[in-house]
Amino acid sequence: MNAYVSRVIEYVKKRHADEPEFVQTVEEVFSAISPVIDAHPEYEKADLLTRMVEPERMFTFRVVWCDDAGQWHTNIGYRCQFNGAIGPYKGGLRFQANVCPSIIKFLGFEQTFKNALTGLPMGGGKGGSDFDPAGKSEAEIMRFCQSYMTALYRYIGPDVDVPAGDMGVGGREIGYLYGQYRRLKGVWENGVLTGKGFTYGGSKTRPEATGYGAIYYLQEVLRHEGEDIRGKTIACAGFGNVTWGICKKAYQLGAKVVTLSGPDGYIYDAEGVSSSEEKIEYLVEMRNSGRNKVKDYADKFGVPFYPGEKPWGVKADIVMPSAMQNDVHMEHAQQIAANGVKYYIEVANMPTTNDALKFLMSQPGMIVAPSKAVNAGGVAVSGLEMSQNSERLSWSAEEVDEKLKVIMKTIHDMSVEAAEEYGLGYNLVAGANIAGFKKVATAMMEQGCF
Ligand code: GLU
């Protein structure tokens, strides 16, 4: 590894010793782009990498809200404006009890390179709160969102920073957040948030975009290998918005999603979750119930449920970890390899621990695709939503879907080219990191040292 890269990784390990997720993502990205640093000694002179691991700005704020029983609560709000070199900061808000600086920073760092890959002018940002939406009433969610936006609205805007959804933040939350933004600012600036409802500027296909994009990317990989998606079995995780989108597209294309997971375990549906619209739409019901239990699916459709287990021991052609970070550890990676899986397609942000990822990438014949490329369709359609809002127009679902397909193909092809340029062969992980990094690095260098 390049000596400067190693030094910066060591520096990050020391400086962020209490932020394991952030250290992990920096290590992954910087190891992959080491050959670029070899080829560009000017980056060391500008100390570009140390600059890149320091967010341009990151702040916390107080979010106070009242529950239905009249009890007051205080949560921590976060926004990390990580890198604005290629566009306004852009990235989701995550509401989950485990949200902390390390998680927000890792997501903001990833987002910077992911957004660069989309080819759209978006910088990297992320935010959220340690608020746990599970079991909260509609009115509590609304009050929380209003309080959150009251603290944040001065620091965002269509040309400044454009939040969106992530775990725990969907269309409903974006609606309440936007309503409060509009009330406070007294202007129609709907480009300030993406993932909005269709009646006030949301882009068609945004709810499906991450899942659809992941399948379009998978199709490019399969095409490269001379294979077809029809009839393939897919092991997925989670049962949220992303997995729902994957199931919908898999249904249309004749592929079979056989597993879902939740905090309580996983389910196995031999016929396929993607075998009927009723099953797919039940995922929405499960999510809206706030119960956060995948066992509900097993009870409803009479399929096996495995409490406390993860689905990675199941035989499938394709594995798509689509739930959350660090879901696949070394022992799972070994099971996946032993099952002869050929396609390991990351979907959630950093779903694989670094040692497990290295192990999977070293398996002969296994193709590994990185999440920052595979899940970029979500934020890409957010970028399209920003364009539609700024031009006060609305594209049809077909138009957006067409653009999404082109973007996913371009991300795949750009990654292939970037890896080939450095003599790395068909290495999608290295290629995506290199392609995203090069764009951000070039913009930062051209804009001077700040
Ligand atoms: N949270 C999503 C992501 O990880 C979407 C971000 C957005 O649409 O801005 O990319």
Residue 139 CA to ligand 1 centre (angstroms): 25
Closest Cα to atom 8 of ligand 1: 379
90 among known catalytic residues: no
Distance of CA 259 from the midpoint of ligand 1 (Å)? 24
> Strand, coil or helix: what is 160?
coil
Q: Which atom of ligand 1 is nearest to the CA of 107?
A: 4
What confidence score (pLDDT) does residue 203 get? Answer: 98
Name the residue at shortest CA distance from atom 10 of ligand 1.
Answer: 379
* CA neighbours closer than 13 Å in the CB half-sphere of residue 435: 27
Q: Domain extents for the chain?
A: 1-54+425-450, 56-190, 209-365
> Cα dihedral angle (14, 16, 21, 23), rounded to 10 degrees?
-40
Query: Ligand 1: which of 174, 205, 210 to mutate, most ligand atoms within 8 Å of CB?
Result: 210
CA of 164 to the centre of ligand 1 (A): 6
Q: Which of 90, 105, 126, 310 is catalytic?
A: 126
Instruction: Write out the chain's pLDDT in tens, 450 residues.
Output: 999 999 999 999 999 999 999 999 999 999 999 999 999 999 999 999 999 999 999 999 999 999 999 999 999 999 999 999 999 999 999 999 999 999 999 999 999 999 999 999 999 999 999 999 999 999 999 999 999 999 999 999 999 999 999 999 999 999 999 999 999 999 999 999 999 999 999 999 999 999 999 999 999 999 999 999 999 999 999 999 999 999 999 999 999 999 999 999 999 999 999 999 999 999 999 998 888 999 999 999 999 999 999 999 999 999 999 999 999 999 999 999 999 999 999 999 999 999 999 999 999 999 999 999 999 999 999 999 999 999 999 999 999 999 999 999 999 999 999 999 999 999 999 999 999 999 999 999 999 976
Please give the number of the atom of ligand 1 that sits closest to the Cα of 381.
Answer: 8
Pocket test for ligand 1, best of 114, 382, 389 (most atoms within 8 A of CB): 382
- Ligand 1 centroid to residue 94 C-alpha, Å: 10
Please state the atom number of ligand 1 nearest to the C-alpha of residue 379: 8
Contacts of 196 (CB under 8 A, 6+ apart): 171, 174, 175, 178, 190, 202, 385
Which residues, listed in sequence order, are joined to residue 305 by a DSSP beta bridge? 267
pLDDT recorded at residue 181: 98
The letter for the amino acid at 214 is: A
Residue minimizing CA distance to atom 9 of ligand 1: 91
CATH topology of domain 1-54+425-450: Glutamate Dehydrogenase; Chain A, domain 3 (1.10.285)
SS3 category, 169: strand
Q: Give the distance (Å) from ligand 1 centre to CA of residue 69.
A: 33
Residue (of 113, 92, 114) closest to 103 by Cα position? 92
Q: Is 288 exposed, middle or buried (0-12, 13-18, 19+ CB in 10 A)?
A: exposed
202: DSSP letter: P
Gap from CA of 360 to ligand 1 centroid (Å): 26
3-state class (DSSP) for residue 231:
coil
Concatenating the DSSP letter of every residue in 367-422 gives EEE-HHHHTHHHHHHHHHHHHHHHTT----HHHHHHHHHHHHHHHHHHHHHHHHHT
CATH class held by domain 56-190: alpha beta
Supply the pLDDT for residue 352.
97
Report the nearest atom of ligand 1 relative to the CA of 91: 9
DSSP, collapsed to helix, strand or coil, labels residue 133 as: coil
pLDDT at 290: 86
List pocket residues of ligand 1, CB cut-off 6 Å.
90-92, 164, 166, 194, 349, 378-379, 382
Please give the helix or strand (H or E) that residue 78 lies within, else none: strand 72-83
Q: By the 8 A CB rule, do 203 and 212 touch?
A: no
Q: Do domains 56-190 and 209-365 have the same CATH topology?
A: yes
Give the span between the Cα atoms of 369 and 377, in whole angstroms: 14
Q: What is the pLDDT of residue 79?
A: 98
Strand ranges (DSSP E) for 130-283?
Answer: 161-165, 233-236, 256-262, 265-268
Choose the CATH number for 209-365 among 3.40.50.720, 3.40.50.300, 3.30.200.20, 3.30.300.20.
3.40.50.720
